Structure 1
Amino acid sequence: MSVLRFAGAKILNAAITLLVALLLISGIFAVYTVTELRGRLAEEYVLALRQLEVQYRNNPELLEEKSRQLYENLMERYGLTGNFVQDVATWTVKLIKSNITFDFGVTQYSYIGGTNVIGDILLLAMKNTAILFLTATLITFAIGIILGFQMARKPGSIFDRGLSVFGMISWSFPTWWVAIIMILIFSFYLRLFPAQAQYVYFELSKLPPDLPLFEKIVEQAKIWLKYMTMPVMTIVLVSFGGASYLIRNIVLGILQEDFVTAARARGLPERRVIYGHVLRTSSPPIVTYLALSIVGAFGGAIITEAVFGWPGMGLVYWIAIQQSDAKVLVASTWVLTVFFILTILILDFIYSLLDPRVRTGAT
């Protein structure tokens, strides 16, 4: 299959997937929005009706007319028609338009950054999540690749067995539980790091505006490191054992291939065999795992960010769920879906460069 046909097929698949995701997300949240609006309308109608009943209790005809006017006004204010299917269809079209244009409007609730523009909230939250989880993911994989290759070179050794057991145990720990333990140790007992990170922008805002550029960058880096060190330590501690074990299994399977045996038979140094042949062959699944972990990182971890008070996507999602803010929920879901699908598309092209058999195998 030619490169152009391969690229065209992958882009078409991604476009179809995006279209299906757009319809599903818009439809699901349209049902949620209409149901939420109908519930609010009913609650407000009942409260207002009680006042009308007291005011017009001696005039039933006028009470009936005022009640009808009240209901019609509420329906108009909430943008409902009374027909559930029609309302859902109307909201689905609205959400499709807003998702396509990435114009999500504003929210009435308070989030991070001191703004109510949903797009600005999500950009700031994604940046904060990237700072935290991207850093933790890269550190995890750097450690995982080094340890995983060492484990694969000496399978069955004490080092291999010990780290494998540690990886399975650490991977089973809930991140939020480890986060609470880290807060108790490093914040309350040792008092080395702050327990909550929501004050990071407040501390950044206190920096003198006339600082030289280099000094300003250094001071900002110190503040970020102070607030993100403990969350990064928590994520890496929970994740690096599992990443090492996964990479160990990938590399161990490749070490048993015939081309590795042939390379060793030719007298090539073990270092060249490992890093010249095995690393290239094992790179596609490792890159896949890394890319998907990075994409997942942009989604944040709702409970982890809530525990540390980290102002990222997870915390925004948690606040939106608590406040039943459908606008922010649908915007967050759509942005992360687009990002995920585009990452998979880019990953397919990287795959084709690392292993040309991917293109020929698709014919």
Structure 2
Amino acid sequence: MRQYITRRLLLMIPILIGVSIIVFFLIAAIPGDAIDAQYAQSHLTPERIAEMKAMLGLDKPVWERYLIWAGNALRGNLGYSTQYNMPIAMVIHSFIWNSFLLAIVAFILELAIAIPVGVFSATKVHSTFDVIFTVVAFAGISLPSFFLALLLQKVFSVDLGCLPLDGMSTVGITMTPIQQLGDLCLHMILPVICLTMMQVGGTMRYVRTSMLEVIHQDYIRTAQSKGLSERVIIYKHALRNAAIPIVTFVGGALPGLFSGALITETIFGWPGIGKIFLASISQRDYMFMMGYIMLLALLVMFGNLLSDILYSVVDPRIRLK
């Protein structure tokens, strides 16, 4: 196992290099830059604009700019954000944990709802319960995130007035630490509900499908013929084997915990990394985009590695191969 993990980590190096080259050259091919976005409508002279571009190295060839970026990235310097006038690493650190807070709560709720509902739907296939939650699952998958977010705001914030409309905290009020925590939880309710509703349907269907494939296996019929209780058959035998494909989903969810929810965070005014990334596109903060995408690429590879490790935990036979 140790040799396998070491080999996978070493394999990440050329993959990251390839991803960085492709992403950097694609971003460089986009017309305009941060200086054009900020000062195109200003009264600055073309000479002054050219001087500012030279200060950022935008006058150099693309290949030279990539080599400079790659050399700095190896030393832990991802560049400078023109949108926030601070190092990109500091910008990511300032906002990524806000996104993680929303994502981890929604992810826990998603698993807590989807796994038991998916298992029960598989054991009661084509029942009223199964049909109802199948409809609910497809409704959650089909609804656009912006529509669901706006609907939640209208019902709970505008009509009922029981939950905050947007933001992460109430401004202009002095609160104790406990009151601040309660205020944060109130502001989290709507975006967490939105994220959970968007994701729980697909996860529930995934669990249901995995369980249906397992409960029709021969060893399940053998366990039933031995007189074992349904609870033991489902939760000790079937669910353990059905969990093997489910861990793929868990490992793949790692990038989503840190990538942020672009539309949801923007509509609810949540200061997360997704909202910042969306703003960086319009501001042409390409160095921030580069650092953000490379972070996601790294998380995707670690998520795949985590899935493979979880395979061996769920199914010990994989360790022998």
Deviation at 1:306, TM superposition (A): 0.5
- Counterpart residue number, 2:276: 316
- Counterpart residue number, 1:162: 132
- 1:77 and 1:120, CA in 2 relative to 1: closer, same or farther beyond 3 A? closer
Show CA shifts across 1:232-252 (max 9, x none): 112222332332222111111
Find 2:75's aligned residue among 101, 108, 121: 101
Find 2:143's aligned residue among 173, 177, 194: 173
SS at match of 1:191: coil
- 1:22 and 1:168, CA in 2 relative to 1: closer, same or farther beyond 3 A? same
Deviation at 1:291, TM superposition (A): 2.8
Q: Which has the larger radius of gyration?
A: 1
Q: Which aligned pairs between 1:121-132 and structure 2 lie closer than 5 A?
A: 121-132=91-102
Find 1:91's aligned residue among 34, 53, 65: 65
Find 2:10's aligned residue among 12, 16, 23: 12
Find 2:33's aligned residue among 36, 48, 55: 36
Q: Which aligned pairs between 1:135-146 and structure 2 lie closer than 5 A?
A: 135-146=105-116
- 1:40 and 1:234, CA in 2 relative to 1: closer, same or farther beyond 3 A? closer
Q: Which runs of 5+ in 2 are unaligned?
A: none
CA contact (8 A) 2:210 2:242 kept: yes
Deviation at 1:206, TM superposition (A): 3.7
Partner Cα distance (1:271, 1:116) in 2: 56
Show CA shifts across 1:187-235 (max 9, x none): 11111111111546x57x9445xxxxxxx3x333212211100111122
- Counterpart residue number, 1:304: 264
Supply the AA of the counterpart residue of 1:104: L
Partner Cα distance (1:259, 1:18) in 2: 43
Partner Cα distance (1:41, 1:172) in 2: 38
- Counterpart residue number, 2:154: 184
Supply the AA of the counterpart residue of 1:300: G
Q: Which aligned pairs between 1:1-363 and structure 2 lie closer than 5 A?
A: 3-32=1-30, 36=33, 48=45, 76-77=54-55, 79=57, 87-110=61-84, 116-199=86-169, 202=171, 206-207=174-175, 216=177, 218-360=178-320
Identical pairs, percent: 24
Partner Cα distance (2:283, 2:169) in 1: 22
Supply the AA of the counterpart residue of 1:314: G
Partner Cα distance (2:250, 2:202) in 1: 13
Partner Cα distance (2:242, 2:77) in 1: 41
CA contact (8 A) 1:176 1:307 kept: yes
CA contact (8 A) 2:169 2:183 kept: no
CA contact (8 A) 1:6 1:359 kept: no
SS at match of 2:305: helix
SS at match of 1:310: coil
Q: Please, what TM-score do these two structures have when normalized by structure 2?
A: 0.88
CA-based RMSD of the aligned residues comes to 3.0
CA contact (8 A) 1:32 1:326 kept: no
SS at match of 1:131: helix
Q: Which runs of 5+ in 1 are unaligned?
A: 50-66, 209-215
- 1:134 and 1:294, CA in 2 relative to 1: closer, same or farther beyond 3 A? farther
Partner Cα distance (1:104, 1:14) in 2: 18
CA contact (8 A) 2:167 2:187 kept: yes
CA contact (8 A) 2:141 2:198 kept: yes
Supply the AA of the counterpart residue of 2:68: K
Show CA shifts across 1:256-282 (max 9, x none): 111211222222211111111112111
Q: Please, what TM-score do these two structures have when normalized by structure 1?
A: 0.79
